[in-house]
Structure 1
Amino acid sequence: MSAALLGEDSEISQEQLYELLKYAALGKCHNAAQPSWCRIYHQSHLAGVVVVVLHEMSQLHFYRFYLQFKRLRRMFRHVSPQTASLSSKLLPVLKPPPRDNGCSGISCITKSSDLQCDPIIQRYGGKKQGLTSYTLTLEEQKKNDYPIEGSPGCKGYISTECDQQRTDSSPLFGLDCEMCLTAKGNEVTRVSLVDARGQCLLNELVKPESTVVNYRTRFSGITRKMLLPVKTRLSDIQTRLKKMLPHDAVLVGHSLNSDLQALEMIHPSVIDTSLLFARSEGRRFKLKFLAKAVLGKEIQCEQKLGHDPTEDARAALELAQFFIEQGPTKLNSIALFLILCSTIVLYLFEPCLLLSLQILQRALEDVPLSKFSIIQFSLGPEYLASHLHAGLHEKVRSKLTDMLTIYAGPFEENFCMKSVKKEFGRCGPIQSLTVVTETFQPYVCIQYEVLEAAQLAVECLNGAEVAGSCIKVQRPVTAAMLDCNVLIKELELDVENQGVIYVAGLKKSLTETDLQEEFSQLKDLETLFLPKDLQSGKHRNCCFLKFQKTQSAVDALEAINGWTMKGSELRSRNALAPGHLWKWIWQTNHSNGKQGKHIFYEKMEQLCDSVSVRLC
């Protein structure tokens, strides 16, 4: 999905959300139109739409626990502040699942029809069954290109001769092969077989009959050097497998048809984990993903050269055993997790971020229930009390205020305040500047309007000579500020700040046209934004530059620092404050009716619009 959020339109409306939900679930085949504000590519590949509701959680919590949400922030590119609230009554058509649904204390809310619509339940039913219920039928084997006795394409294939009747107590064996590309096609170069306890029975390199065209080392782990001394041929492996497998053996593998085709062998009883966990319309998951999601195991690690067939065979075997032991119904919560990782996910913060009850209700009226999965997470009661919420709000505001505040000094008794204001003003717009007289020597407390300015002052002026004194520059020392440096680094890495730099020290006489002309020589410059004072119309002696490429922004930083423009030396650094942060601050201020003087809020409406535009 790609989105173009510009200016005042950076806030997603309820109507736009409805467009997204409807098109994501139905697509063109049901005459649903592409959303007006974004574009979804390959909609037909989506398995469904998952709505994740974080009940009673607001953007306030998002900023309070900003560092803890690192993965969430880097996975999703857009955060859109919303003023619409989500009703506490989620949906009358939803009902909670049984207590023993395997959700580990998380409140999962599922539609009453979800279980019956789940593709795994539809295939195998809701009751726990033995392993024979999960082996592929002859028709399923034909449909999925398994070698079949008597099939025209299987001439010369060897049968395992496992002809005894299978029962639920028949032994399971995990099988996996690695192949190289030869003049003949895909040929086996390594075979692994594990028993029901995961013990390796066979792990053998195989010499292909034809000349190897591509060893596919990245995936197979096979190299030319490895195969040079090998004498074992495919016929040797076929003979060994026939002897090792009992007459009632059930083979387990992930896309096992490819392995049996490469082995040129026919086996009548198989469990294919790629089909066992398949979603609607045959959507399958990779073995590596299933091992992590279901078993909590890491396989096929990037540090290893190619796949380990023994590891893969064991993982497929354990997946089948897990499925058999737990049953389809017990896997419902895992199925929801699998959907989460393969579809569009909407994170909904209540009461002020993203989605309203009416939108969800409206979408469910037009879209089949099976297309939606809704999961609800609830905060504990200790987080919902109004006085605690107000306290949390004050903590966040206080921390942001401290980040915009710096202390500079010590200065001489009769230092020139005008010189101090001029020097620190070159870092960005100043909200207030006051002298601290409680100390032995005077210090100055400076409050900036933007985070970039405060950080620039700390980086550029600490240890500098200002107003005849060599000064120190630092932020307030409080418990909340102990992780300030970590937070600054995370803000720099925010996806909305990629390719965006902040430039300060601009003369008031410079116009936007002047700046466009001056900065036009910078490579890949996409947009220039010049925040202006709403009342006077004058700019705030700083601007933001957005570049098409991140590296171009890095190069521009080196070029601009120390750049003199109309007699004024410029200072620049990476952008820090994402547009959604300023938007939230501005909305919070207006919803509380607090207008005017606070450092965050004066001029925030105009600043917010410009920052929102520059970050799209």
Structure 2
Amino acid sequence: MFANEMAEAACVIGHKRPHECNEEVEEPQKTKKKRKVDEDTCQNQHKRKEKKSRLSAGLFGEDCEIRHEQVYEFLKYAVLGKRHNATQPSWCRIYHQRHLAKVVVIVLQEVSQLYFYKFYLQFKHLRRAFQHRFSLPPTSANFIASVCGEGISMKHQNSMQGSASAYSGHIPKNSDLQKDPIIEKYGEEKHGLTSYILTLEEMRKYDYPLEGSPGCGNYVHTQCESPRTDSSPLFGLDCEMCLTEKGNEVTRVSLVDAEGQCIMDELIKPETQILNYFTRYSGITRKILLPVKTKLPEIQDKLKKLLPCDAVLVGHSLNADLHALQMIHPSVIDTSLLFARHKGRRFKLKFLAKAVLGKEIQSENKVGHDPKEDAEAALELLQYFIDQGPRKVVELNLEMVLSAPNLMESSQQKSALQLQQNGVQKHSSEPPSIPKPCFLDYLNATGQKTLLLSRKELASSGLCQNSLSTSNKQILKRAIQEVPLSSFSVIQFTLRSAHDAPDLVAEVCEKMRIQLADMLTVYAGPFDKDFCLKSLRREFKKCGPIQSLTVLTETHQVQRPVTVMMLDCDMLIKELEMDIENEGVIYVAGVKKTLTDTDLQEKFSHLKDLQALFWPRDLKTGKHRNYCFLKFQTSESAQEALQDINRQGAKGSQLQSRKALTSSHLHRWICHMDYNDGKPIQLVHHILHIKKEQLSTSEQDIRKKLKKLDRSIKKLYRSLENNTLCVVLLPGVNSVYGSFSGLGLMGIKEESRNSAC
């Protein structure tokens, strides 16, 4: 019933009468056809309004690693967007970021890019669900901190044994939070509004108008003398002033009640001539004030009538507003003092509204401030303080949020000043170490929940404090429960193979090199005894660069050597063709190296729906290869292009084409593998000397573990809300036994793709 009513209400927006969309009545056949058209039109309009987030195809053919800092900026923009001044990353753009439901990062600790391609068939879900992939440099000492911001603090951590809240328990007495001025004044517990009303001493200290105070002799008293309780009515008050011959005089006043309703918004004619309208801040102009006849005494009388006898006024630096109104009120709450800072400094209302409430006020696009907007913001800030309590306000870490944009610059200046004072040269080669601000602080500032789940191994890094008995299964169970409740989540699974031999990575790497070499080796023949090796090389060179060419004289029968490692080769090739990363991508060989990038673009410009072109370079010489990859918008367009290129080949063209099999990272692996201290490695030499041995126990164990990890990710992925950005990070390995790059996979969950996976 409720769904039908909502559908009807939504359809009414686009039509004059609700029944045009879904009312069932008897009507002529012609009218029914027209109604059907209207229904289709309405549904199409609704579909157009539902924008879905998507990622750009800029990663196709990326010939470089994505640094951890770039991943951090990407996640920051995905979570915060332009509303919080986050910058759109250039290496992979996010379209319609504000429509993202959530952001989830899954980290597979101890897993590298090498493992992904070596045990490719085990990652059934990963390779089918995530279309975008990129290389990562080998892991740093603290991988999660590097991709989520080095300034990540203990207040963002979730204990696996404790509550889901990151803020349970009491603040330790030796904590810096105990020294916060808010905690020092109000303690940790929640209080009613009467606890935050300024005392008589505080009003005198902060220059509030009081009876008997200098200059307040002619001020009007609101006569609100009844005792205040925690149920007393709240009213937000804000004024705008202009500079007159008398000084700053009020020219506009707004009063808002606790429900956010504006009960008073009046323009006031000053007593003396205006010298400066302060239009940029007040929004007042000569034209606006010209017809105004209302004087200040009228406003004072109106305020006295509107305010109940136990009213509490709320404002930001409210003393200035009351002086401008020339009024005395005994019960006030000042949000500039409530959200206290060290050394008596104060936050601006605009900052607090954005950081605490997530609201944009005093926009630069508007002419002047809106006192109704400012009064309402002050009221909401107080209500947030009362509802959440002092502890929650302190844990927002507003100082960090405020200083984040300028933290680096100000800290460097401060450090340079300290160095000068200590007699150290200003131009030191060692720059001061500056902590990097973390976007999790922004999330907490806007009241959004973050979730970090991992195992005990991260305790040393200061990110998690979990039990040693915690398993991947327990992490998965909790993640499925709590990820839907969090705006940003980081879930870490650990490989933890039972056979963590030091040489295991080297063993896997060597087998991977051999398997790649076997896949890159072509056996052709038989040939006549007088065949020309040079012409043979020239013929095969059309398909791509030839690393080596060896003549086998022992037999005339051409057959690829069969080993245990290559028994799954046909299955692997089929899976590579079906890989989502290779969807709509074709490989083209026989490209002349003399062509320029522009020439190549023009050569394929006639192909339908061509989206991107990747022309790899030799990492050693910097010259283009004689093959390229073409990416199309659809698989159908790619198939048409493949047939078109092969037809040209049949007519004498040097170009040859097939469906792409390799990852965009694979050619880099080949380049690194081809050279060892500058000497070429003979790939055929590896092939002919492979040992026919069964998979080691350690490798079998890894295979099982990786298959379980893939299943865990699949379960977690299926539980995610549609339009959720999911990023899977394989940190890589950086140890004395070798450095191996990591891998990133990401995608935005869609309903259709989820059902296919």
Q: Give the TM interval when normalised to the shorter protein.
A: 0.3 to 0.5
Bigger fraction of residues in strand: 1
The structure with the larger Rg is 2
TM-score, normalization by structure 2: 0.40
- Structure number with the bigger relative contact order (C-alpha 8 A, sep ≥ 6) is 2
TM-score by length of 1: 0.48
